Chains A and B, each alone.
Chain A
Amino acid sequence: MISRRDFLQASVAASAIVGASGVGNWSKLAAQQTLTQDQLLDFDTVGNVTIIHITDIHAQLKPVYFREPEINIGVGAVDGLPPHVTGKDFLNLFNMEAGTREAYALTYDDFTSLAKGYGKMGGIDRVATVINSIRAARPDALLLDGGDTWQGSYTAQMTNGQDMVNVMNALKPDAMTSHWEFTLGIDRVNEIVENDLDFPFLGANIFDTEWDERAYEPYKMFERGGVKIAVIGQAFPYMPIANPGWMFPGLSFGVREDNMNDLVQEVRGKGAELVVMLSHNGFDVDRKLAANVDGIDVILTGHTHDALPEPVQVNNTMLIASGSNGKFVTRLDLDVRDGEVKGFRHKLIPIFSDVIQSDPMVAKLIDEQRAPFEDQLTEVIGKTDSLLYRRGNFNGTWDDLICNALIEEREADIALSPGFRWGPSLLPGGDITREDIFNCTGMSYPAAYRSEMTGELIHTIMEDVADNLFNPDPYYQQGGDMVRMGGMGYSIDVSKKQGDRITDMTMLNTGEKIEPSKTYIVAGWASVNEGTEGPAIWDVVEDYVRRKGTVSLDPNQSVKVTGA
Chain B
Amino acid sequence: MDFTRRDALILGAGAATVALLPVQAFASVSDDAIAAFTGGAATSEGGIELTAPEIAENGNTVPVAVSAPGAVSIMLLAAGNPNPDVCTFNFGPLSGSQSASTRIRLAGTQDVVAVAKMADGSFVQTSSVVKVTIGGCGG
Interface residues of A (CB under 8 A from B): 179, 212, 236, 238-243, 245, 252-255, 258, 282, 303-304, 416, 418-421, 449-453, 456-457, 460-461, 464-465, 467-468, 471, 473, 475-476, 478-481, 483, 498, 522, 524-529, 531-534
Contacts and interface: CB of A to CB of B under 8 A. Distances in A.
B3 A533 contact: yes
B81 to A, nearest CB: 19
B10 A460 contact: no
B55 interface: yes
A304 B135 CA distance: 17
Given A282-B139, A468-B133, A461 B55 contact: no
Interface in B2-41: 3, 5-13, 16, 19-20
Given A452-B5, A464-B19, A529-B7, A304 B139 contact: yes
Contacts of B16: 457, 460-461, 464
A460 B136 CA distance: 13
A475 B54 contact: yes
A238 B109 CA distance: 16
Given A451-B8, A533-B3, A465 B137 contact: yes
B138 interface: yes
B134 interface: yes
B54 A480 contact: no
B57 interface: yes
A202 to B, nearest CB: 19
Contacts of B54: 254-255, 473, 475-476
Interface in B26-81: 51, 53-58, 63
Contact of A242 (B7, B8, B129, B135): B135
Given A245-B58, A468-B137, 17 more contacts: A179-B139, A240-B58, A241-B57, A241-B138, A243-B138, A254-B55, A418-B10, A461-B9, A464-B11, A465-B11, A467-B131, A476-B129, A478-B135, A479-B136, A479-B139, A524-B10, A533-B1
B3 A238 contact: no
A242 B138 contact: yes
Contact of B3 (A418, A419, A451, A457): A451
A483 B56 CA distance: 20
A527 B134 CA distance: 11
Contacts of A525: 10
Contacts of A419: 137, 139
B139 to A, nearest CB: 3
23 contacts: A179-B139, A212-B63, A238-B55, A238-B138, A241-B57, A242-B138, A254-B57, A304-B139, A416-B10, A419-B139, A421-B139, A449-B3, A451-B3, A451-B5, A451-B8, A465-B136, A468-B137, A476-B54, A478-B55, A525-B10, A529-B8, A529-B12, A533-B3
Given A527-B11, A529-B9, A481 B57 contact: no
Interface in B88-139: 109, 129, 131, 133-139
Q: Which of B1, B3, B13, B57 has the most CB of A within 10 A?
A: B57
A241 B133 CA distance: 8
A449 B53 contact: no
Top 7 A-B pairs, shortest CB-CB distance: A242-B138, A451-B8, A480-B139, A475-B54, A449-B8, A241-B135, A243-B138
Interface of B: 1, 3, 5-13, 16, 19-20, 51, 53-58, 63, 109, 129, 131, 133-139
A72 to B, nearest CB: 13
A274 to B, nearest CB: 29
A529 B139 contact: no
A386 to B, nearest CB: 24
B19 A460 contact: yes
Nearest to A422: B139
A240 B19 CA distance: 18
A142 B1 CA distance: 52
A532 B7 contact: yes
Contacts of B53: 254
Contact of B9 (A418, A451, A475): A451
Nearest to B49: A258
A473 B136 CA distance: 19
B28 to A, nearest CB: 20
Point out which of B54, B56, B63 has the most chain A C-beta atoms below 10 A from its C-beta.
B54
Contacts of A253: 57
A450 B136 contact: no
A304 to B, nearest CB: 7
B139 A241 contact: no
Contacts of B20: 456, 460
B51 A258 contact: yes
Contacts of A416: 10
A464 B3 contact: no
B10 A241 contact: no
Given A460-B16, A528-B11, A453 B135 contact: no
A75 to B, nearest CB: 15
Contacts of A461: 9-11, 16, 134
Contacts of B55: 238, 241, 254, 475-476, 478
B114 to A, nearest CB: 16
Nearest to B11: A461
